[in-house]
Amino acid sequence: MKKILLLTITAIFAISSLSCSSTELYKQKNNKKKYISKTKEKPNNTIKPENEEQPNNKKINKNKKTIKTENTIKNQNIKNKPKNQKNNNETLNKSIQSKLLLNYTGKKWSKALENEMKKIDFSDYNFDINRPKLIKNVNSIYVLVNKANYLPQNFAPINLVRPKTKYMGGGNRFYLREIAAKNIDKLISTAKKNGIVINTVSSYRTIAYQKILFNSYAQRDGIENANKYSAKAGFSEHHTGLCSDVSSPSMNYSLGQNYGNTKEGIALKNNAHKFGFIIRYPKNKDKFTGYTYEPWHLRYVGVELATYLHETNLSFEEFLALQKGILPSSIVIK
């Protein structure tokens, strides 16, 4: 009996001890969890270094990537800009002078002439007398009037004035367009200062007067011969008010090819371009111009073009054909 009682007490004690141990273990586990949880939490008074928070770091890195991408694009644009700008400048600075003209003469024209030539529609020029063409831009100082290009029957030039210098011709054929009159006065006055006497003898002619003049030459010399030195009505440069026949006392103010051998004729050939004039029908150029040599016939085309023609020894027709991409040997004027 005593033995049974002792075993019962022992068993109860063992169960009590086990229960206490389990409770203590449970408390220890809970305390451990709490401790672990507390160690993960940071005190509120902790000073956080800049950029410490992970979410902000991600944003900053994203922004850095964006900034990098934007900078990359900007750098690419900066690299591309000079190239594009260079191409644009090359386009703007590219000359319109034809390669044929440049190769034929070996002379590049000036920037001033470049600017003038940009005003011209070269498609308006015709070089086939078998198919004469009506001129469109009748008041251009670069108008081409010859056997292949004619003016309207009712044409009259603009801004006609009388030059200040002396006129030695007959009738009232002294008028010139203002720009031509101004420069013919300069040419004549400058020549006079250098002991060279030159005066105008025939400038602007109406289409009606030219018709009478050509018919008289045709009756005297025949149409074929008249065509070599005179223009039909509507086909004459004298209608433009941009040209003038000149002569000197040494020629008794007559017109003849020997004028080119006089000191006045030589002076004109060497200096007319300085005032914007050319010898419109040069020697040995009749197959291009359609007319025989006339050292007295001055045509105003401006200083830039006159100088270029003088330096390259081109006739007006040759220049225009070459610029249009046509070899002078291919044009049909004579």
**Structural domains of the chain, ranges and CATH numbers in brackets:** 98-330 (3.30.1380.10)
Mean pLDDT of the chain, nearest integer: 82
**Token pair of 218 as six digits:** 């045709």
pLDDT of residue 83: 53
**43-67 pLDDT tens trace:** 444 334 444 444 444 444 444 444 4
What is the rounded average pLDDT of the residues 200-228? Answer: 97
DSSP state of 176: E
Give the Cβ contact number of residue 62 at 10 Å.
10
DSSP state of 97: -
**Neighbouring residues of 300: CB distance < 8 A, sequence distance ≥ 6:** 141, 177, 179, 180, 183, 184, 242, 243, 276, 277
**62-112 pLDDT tens trace:** 444 444 455 554 455 545 555 555 454 444 568 999 999 999 999 999 999
Q: Would the pLDDT of 278 be above 90?
A: yes
Q: Beta 133-134 vs 149-150: how paired, if at all? A: parallel
Q: Could you tell me the CA-to-CA distances from 70 to 41, 65, 73 in Å, in that order?
A: 39, 9, 5
Question: What are the contacts of 20-24 at 24+ separation with CB within 8 A?
Answer: none
Lowest mean pLDDT among 37-41, 90-94, 126-130, 217-221: 37-41
**Token pair of 330 as six digits:** 């291919």
Q: Would the pLDDT of 20 be above 50?
A: no
Lowest mean pLDDT among 25-34, 135-144, 149-158, 323-332: 25-34
Lowest mean pLDDT among 18-22, 130-134, 231-235, 251-255: 18-22
